[in-house]
Amino acid sequence: MGKVFEGIDERLASFLEAQPVFFVSTAPLASDGLVNCSPKRNRREFAVLSADQVGYLDQTGSGVETIAHLRENGRIVVMFCAFDGPPRIVRLHGRGHSVAAGTSGFDSLAPRFEGSGEAGVRAIVVVDVARVSDSCGYGVPIMPFESHRPTMDQWSARKERAGVLEYQAEKNRTSLDGLAALAAPGAEE
């Protein structure tokens, strides 16, 4: 039923990049730490960078679990589900790191992602993929895609970049478990 791939080929890359939503899961090392699973919109904000590396734009949010967990241990899985067409689930297991907006590393990756200059963008998460697998997806419902919510764009546009950075300094410095997440605004990581 499921298949393990040697890497991400063009056909698989097309599938991944076409999905309007994907999910990211990470966990801290502590056995009592909180596991995190986050949905991510994809308006050309996810990109296959090579056969064994992907990345996505990380938007400012109320939490910063993914970045904190990646700083601590790097473990990550990115999951895609086909909500239309043939049933399919694809998981990308690997090790990731975040590249903060405003850094030279971010600037070199940014052209690969639409919307990288928007006020709400916090980082680019880069994943070195160690395992690519798919499974049947028979349990995933068929759901037609209507549109992306405009709320995040509206929120960040109202705040402008300076307001978003203030929000990040207040709300995105540590994870729910107290792990370090974002560095001070403007600091290279």
Q: Which two tokens stand for residue 162?
A: 């300076």
pLDDT of 73 over the 90 cut: yes
Report whether pLDDT(186) > 60.
no
In a domain, 156, yes or no: yes
Residue 111 lies in a domain: yes
In a domain, 179, yes or no: no
Give the pLDDT confidence score for residue 2 in this predicted structure.
Answer: 83
73, part of any domain: yes
Q: What is the CATH number of the domain that holds 16?
A: 2.30.110.10
SS3 per residue for 48-89? EEECCEEEEEEECCCCCHHHHHHHHCCEEEEEEECCCCCCCE
Closest CA to 169 of 60, 70, 71: 60
Residues with Cβ within 8 Å of 143's Cβ and at least 6 positions away in sequence, in order, are: 83, 84
Residue 25 lies in a domain: yes
Does residue 93 form part of some domain? yes
Percent residues over pLDDT 70 in the chain = 96
Q: What is the pLDDT of residues 125-180, one digit of tens each?
A: 999 999 999 999 999 999 999 999 999 999 999 999 999 999 999 999 999 999 99
Domain that holds residue 83: 3-138+148-171
C-alpha dist (Å) from residue 103 to 37, 153, 160: 26, 22, 18
Q: 182 or 105, which is more confident?
A: 105
Residue 188: pLDDT above 90?
no
Tell me, yes or no, whether 188 lies in a domain.
no
Residue 125, domain member (yes or no): yes
Domain tally for the chain?
1
